[in-house]
Amino acid sequence: MALKGNLRDFSTTQLLNLINLARKTGTLTIDAKRERSRLCFKEGRLIYATSDDDGGHLAMMLQRSGKLTEEQARAIQSRTDIKSDKELGLLLMNAGYVSQDDIVRSVQSYILNSVYPLFTWVDGKFRFEASVLPFEDRITIPINLENVIMEGSRRMQEWEHLLDYLPDLDIALRFVERPSVRMRDINMSVEEWRVVSFINPRNTVRQIAQYNNMSEFQIRKIVYALLQAGLVELTRPAGVKPAPGAPGKAPVTMRPPAVKRGVVERLISFFQQRS
């Protein structure tokens, strides 16, 4: 049986919940506007995840977790004699570059970081293919979906909060003339500095995100922090759209009909005879 649809109608949380409860084995592919993610499951547990952007190779995972440098990762990926991630893992362990624990943690972290952003996706076609599993050369780590769903839902709430706070990305930022905090007490991350460098009434928040190759979640989080710190302000008020359609009238509770058991039995007997 196919499991196809769109995240507009069936969210990532609902999908993962379904896969968990039905203990499904297979691969879930989600296609959004510019991204494609693949999640693999075995008996309801997440075992692998990747997106088309990065290919999901072990060298890249170890680089992201700081176990390999960019040069080392690039050198490894350019080697053609290493056939699989499993082979590469053994090679690196034998050479003393990483431990088994480093590999497990890096792969797990990569999988989770590939999955969590999906909770904020509100549009994208999905398809679950039963019994299709990742290539054998990939390292898989079984992860309980309950915890993933809980953390994903928490991030979703955070996302919704950010969305409420900053519903429109097509607005600009400007520095406040008299900040209420002392500038020297503020510590900003590299990402925040990158955003700050683009703050100008001519640049919309969306454009700043594009210049810095940031997701909507990332830019909203940073702008939220800057607004909260009182460093910047929106150049025009964010218009929040009213909630769609007022709910209909409340349903009325009625009494069930007074039908005798004998009537129901006659109906059953009638249909059974016709079958």
Partner 1 sequence: MQTVKIVVTGPFSAGKTQFIQSISEIDVVATERKISRAEERVKDQTTVAMDFGRISVADDLVLYLFGTPGQRRFDFMWEILAEGMLGFVVLLDSVKPETFREARSILDTFRAYAPVPYVVAANKQDLEDAWAPEDLRIALRIPSEIKVLPCVATDRENVQQVLLELLFSVLEIMDAEG
Q: Which helix (H) or strand (E) holds 125?
A: strand 125-130
3-state secondary structure of 120: helix
Q: Least distance to partner 1 from the beta carbon of 59, Å? A: 37
Q: Which is nearer to partner 1, 87 or 265 (CB)?
A: 265
Q: Which is nearer to partner 1, 22 or 181 (CB)?
A: 22
Contact status, residue 102 vs residue 65, Cβ threshold 8 Å: yes
Q: Least distance to partner 1 from the beta carbon of 9, Å? A: 4
Question: In the stretch 158-177, what mask flags binding to partner 1 with x, by CB under 8 A?
Answer: --------------------
243 binds partner 1 (CB under 8 A): no
Which stretch in 17-25, 88-96, 154-162, 166-174 sits in contact with partner 1 by CB under 8 A?
17-25
Question: In the stretch 105-124, what mask flags binding to partner 1 with x, by CB under 8 A?
Answer: --------------------
Buried b (16+ CB within 10 A) or exposed e, 126-147: bebeeeebbeeebbbbebebee
β-sheet bridge partners, residue 233: 174
Which stretch in 13-21, 53-61, 110-118, 174-182 sits in contact with partner 1 by CB under 8 A?
13-21
Q: Least distance to partner 1 from the beta carbon of 15, Å? A: 9
Q: Least distance to partner 1 from the beta carbon of 5, Å? A: 3
Centre a 10 Å sphere on the Cβ of residue 111 and count the other Cβ atoms it contains: 24
Question: In the stretch 20-59, what mask flags binding to partner 1 with x, by CB under 8 A?
Answer: -xx-------------------------------------
Report how many residues bind partner 1 under the rule CB under 8 A: 35
246 binds partner 1 (CB under 8 A): no
User: What is the pairing mode between strands 45-51 and 3-6?
Assistant: unpaired
Contact status, residue 118 vs residue 32, Cβ threshold 8 Å: no
Q: How far apart are CA 39 and CA 127, in angstroms?
A: 11
List helix spans (H) across the chain.
12-21, 58-64, 70-78, 85-94, 100-115, 145-165, 190-196, 205-211, 216-228, 261-274
Binding site for partner 1 (CB under 8 A): 1-6, 8-10, 14, 17-18, 21-22, 248, 251-257, 259, 261, 263-268, 270-272, 274-275
